[in-house]
């Protein structure tokens, strides 16, 4: 996994801009701590930071291809292509010669053979830029599910691009400007494909490519979810899901560096860990290494709520014993989670305020500790979106609402799934006039209707099945973006590559078209996934109810937050004060206010203050 960046300018000589490219590339050091390089020519400048996972001795980037001493193309690539062995054989048969054994050169040679259609042949998570020296054109490509990030900023004579916004914000022509629509996108609990809160900075949409020519920038979609009629019976469908998962996990175990799994003890991570353990054992390469996160004193402080009925640790340890994993539990404490330096590190990883409190900081600290032992980790993201694991898939009120189902189910007045029982809304401390201008419910409804218009349908579909197809599509294209972005930023800020087997496009396309009656055939959430992996799991885990990523329940945490919030309120130079309601702030700091009730709002206010200060954001509201 790596960080990429670059600049195309048709009206200037970029060989004179080495300092600017070096500064942009340096921002991606955390994504690629092992090596770095640049490629400069008159109208194109590519930068790269490398995290060596395959072929550590080879595969330096930017990678170039030449013929008779003439440059054909240069590539800056971030990702993993899991079918690179098959593609390499096909390219060799077509006459291509390779000098490395990793997947980077396969992507480069694949572009020379198939042009932009190379994207359709890749199975993996990737984001890359190819400069075609023959035509002086740039191609930006992002994987189908958007696991790997890629941002770009059109300029009058070309484009700037980078894995993360920080690479673009380093360029002297780009300012961190955020307007009302930017704040709406930041606060609305959705991720609209293609948009970022920063004015002028866009994302390459998942399953899309961007072509840059002298005539301008064009966008093309090469993949999307399609409506296909499902003709298999339940038993065959369960078997197909299992076969796909076995192949996916097996492919994603390839690495020339230490590899592990992230194990919570839930169904998703346990399935990945168990299948990985089987594959490694069959290859004589076991045992699987696994890591779980916990908080100091969590067992004493844990109290069940509507979304977290049981603690994770006992289940993770049960699964580890069941598959013979080499398992470790990483404990974090409240002092580290509220350390302003860690908040700043989390902010720099995201380039934006996260809005989910200690969940971001704990993930970053957890990944740093995992990185001491492993370079690659397998994770269970997107199984809930794919198989219908969230409560809003099963809540009639959420399904019937004219809004994103999670917005209704979480009420966005408690955000119980994100902040824990008793937390207040994230917007609780925001200025009331600002909230009126933002009209977040109206913004969400408009984006919701846009998303519904994209959903592919089959004719003559039962109305309930049609609605569940819509809900699945919304989760797979909007909600999952929040989790994938979070996982990428926190892991890559630690130099850790996280792979997500449930995002394999073959599995996603297949399950998307599986009828809801099969996905919930036994009346429970994720019935299809449970049935497909039940035989490799302990019964306690196969039947366990969905439990979100844990939050710290140490009562010291909200108290420490309130101290920080009081310091912010007392500092007239705090830029976040312009966005906060003074009366609500005073109420939150009152001695008789339970700090737990303003926990998430306090975290957001502190994040906003750090962001506005660190990034020198210009708010144009």
Token pair listed for 297: 């004193």
Q: If 0-12 CB within 10 Å is exposed, 13-18 middle and 19+ buried, where does residue 551 land?
A: buried
Distance CA 333, CA 319 (A): 24
Token pair listed for 126: 């990737």
Using CA of residue 96, residue 102, residue 105, residue 108, what is the dihedral sign?
positive
Contacts of 93 (CB under 8 A, 6+ apart): none
Token pair listed for 46: 């590519």
Contacts of 427 (CB under 8 A, 6+ apart): 187, 435, 440, 601, 604
3-state SS string over 23-79? HHHHCCCCCCECEEEEEECCCEEEEEEECCCCCCCCCCCCEEEEECCEEEEEEEEEE
Token pair listed for 169: 């914000």
- Check if the beta carbon of residue 162 is closer than 8 Å to that of residue 168: yes
Q: Taking the C-alpha atoms of 138, 143, 147 and 153 in order, what is their torsion angle to the nearest 10 degrees?
A: 30
What's 475's DSSP letter?
I
- Check if the beta carbon of residue 263 is closer than 8 Å to that of residue 315: no
What's 328's DSSP letter?
E
Token pair listed for 407: 């917005």
Q: Is residue 565 reached through a cis peptide bond, with omega within 30 degrees of 0 on the bond before it?
A: no
DSSP bridge partners of 125: 80
3-state SS string over 192-251? CCCCCCCCCCEECCCCEEEEEECCEEEEEECCCCCCCCCCCCHHHHHHHHHHHHHHHHHH
Residue 186: HSE in the Cβ half-sphere, 13 Å Cα cutoff: 24
DSSP H or E stretch at residue 486 = helix 480-492
Contacts of 88 (CB under 8 A, 6+ apart): 98, 106
- Of the candidates 401, 417, 388, the residue with the CA atom closest to the CA atom of residue 523: 388
Backbone angles phi, psi at 274, to 5 degrees: -65, -45
Q: Return the exposure string of 452-476: e unless at least 16 CB atoms fall within 10 Å of the residue's CB, then b.
A: eeebeeeeeeeeeeeebbbbbbbbb
Residue 2 annotated among the catalytic residues of the structure:
yes
- Of the candidates 129, 119, 122, the residue with the CA atom closest to the CA atom of residue 167: 129
Supply the residues annotated as catalytic: 2
């Amino acid at each position: 996994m790596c960080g990429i960046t670059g600049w195309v300018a048709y009206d200037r000589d970029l060989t004179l801009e080495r300092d600017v490219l070096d500064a942009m590339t340096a921002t991606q050091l955390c994504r690629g701590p092992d090596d770095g390089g640049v490629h400069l020519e008159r109208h194109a400048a590519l930068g790269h930071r490398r995290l060596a996972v395959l072929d550590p001795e080879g595969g330096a980037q930017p990678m170039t291809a030449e013929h008779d001493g003439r440059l054909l193309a240069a590539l800056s690539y971030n990702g993993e292509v899991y079918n690179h062995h098959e593609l390499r054989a096909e390219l060799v048969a077509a006459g291509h010669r390779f000098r490395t054994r990793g997947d980077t050169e396969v992507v480069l040679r694949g572009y020379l053979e198939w042009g932009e259609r190379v994207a359709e042949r890749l199975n993996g998570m990737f984001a890359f830029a190819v400069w075609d020296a023959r035509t002086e054109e740039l191609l930006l490509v992002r994987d189908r599910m958007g696991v790997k990030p890629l941002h770009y900023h059109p300029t009058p004579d070309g484009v700037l691009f980078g894995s993360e916004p920080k690479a673009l914000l380093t360029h002297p022509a780009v300012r961190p400007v955020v307007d009302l629509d930017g704040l709406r996108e930041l606060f609305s609990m959705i991720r609209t494909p293609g948009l970022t809160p920063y004015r002028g900075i866009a994302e390459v949409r998942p399953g899309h490519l961007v072509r840059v020519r002298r005539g301008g920038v064009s966008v093309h979609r090469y993949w999307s979810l399609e409506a296909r009629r499902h003709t298999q019976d339940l038993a065959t469908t369960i078997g197909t899901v299992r076969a796909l998962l076995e192949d996916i996990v097996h492919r994603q175990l390839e690495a020339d560096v230490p590899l592990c799994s992230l194990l919570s003890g839930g169904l998703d991570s346990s399935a990945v860990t168990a299948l990985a353990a089987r594959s490694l054992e069959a290859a004589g390469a076991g045992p699987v290494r696994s890591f779980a996160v916990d908080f100091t004193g969590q067992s004493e402080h844990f109290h069940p709520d509507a979304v977290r009925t049981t603690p994770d640790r006992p289940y993770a340890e049960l699964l580890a014993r069941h598959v013979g994993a080499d398992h470790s539990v990483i404990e974090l404490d409240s002092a580290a989670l509220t350390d302003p330096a860690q908040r700043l590190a989390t902010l720099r990883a995201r380039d934006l305020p996260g809005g989910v409190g200690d969940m971001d900081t704990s993930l970053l600290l957890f990944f740093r500790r995992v990185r001491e032992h492993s370079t690659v980790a397998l994770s269970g993201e997107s199984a809930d979106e794919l198989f219908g694991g969230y409560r809003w898939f099963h809540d009639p009120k959420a399904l019937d609402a004219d809004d994103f189902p999670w917005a209704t189910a979480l009420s966005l007045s408690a955000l119980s799934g994100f902040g824990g029982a008793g937390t207040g809304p994230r917007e609780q401390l925001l200025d009331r006039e600002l909230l009126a201008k933002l009209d977040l419910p109206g913004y969400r409804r408009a984006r919701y209707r846009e998303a519904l218009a994209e959903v592919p349908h089959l004719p003559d579909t039962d109305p309930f099945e049609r609605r569940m197809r819509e809900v699945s599509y919304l989760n797979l294209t909007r909600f999952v973006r929040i989790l994938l972005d979070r996982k990428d930023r926190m892991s890559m800020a630690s130099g850790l590559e996280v792979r997500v087997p449930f995002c394999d496009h073959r599995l996603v396309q297949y399950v998307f078209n599986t009828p809801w009656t099969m996905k919930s055939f036994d009346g429970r959430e994720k019935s299809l996934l449970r049935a497909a992996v039940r035989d490799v799991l302990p019964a306690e885990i196969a039947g366990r109810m969905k439990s979100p990523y844990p939050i710290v329940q140490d009562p010291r945490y909200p108290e420490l937050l309130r101290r920080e919030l009081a310091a912010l309120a007392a500092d007239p130079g705090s830029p976040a004060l312009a966005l906060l309601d003074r009366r609500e702030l005073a109420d939150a700091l009152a001695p008789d206010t339970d700090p737990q009730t303003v926990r998430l709002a306090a975290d957001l206010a502190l994040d906003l203050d750090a962001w506005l200060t660190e990034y020198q954001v210009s708010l144009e509201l």
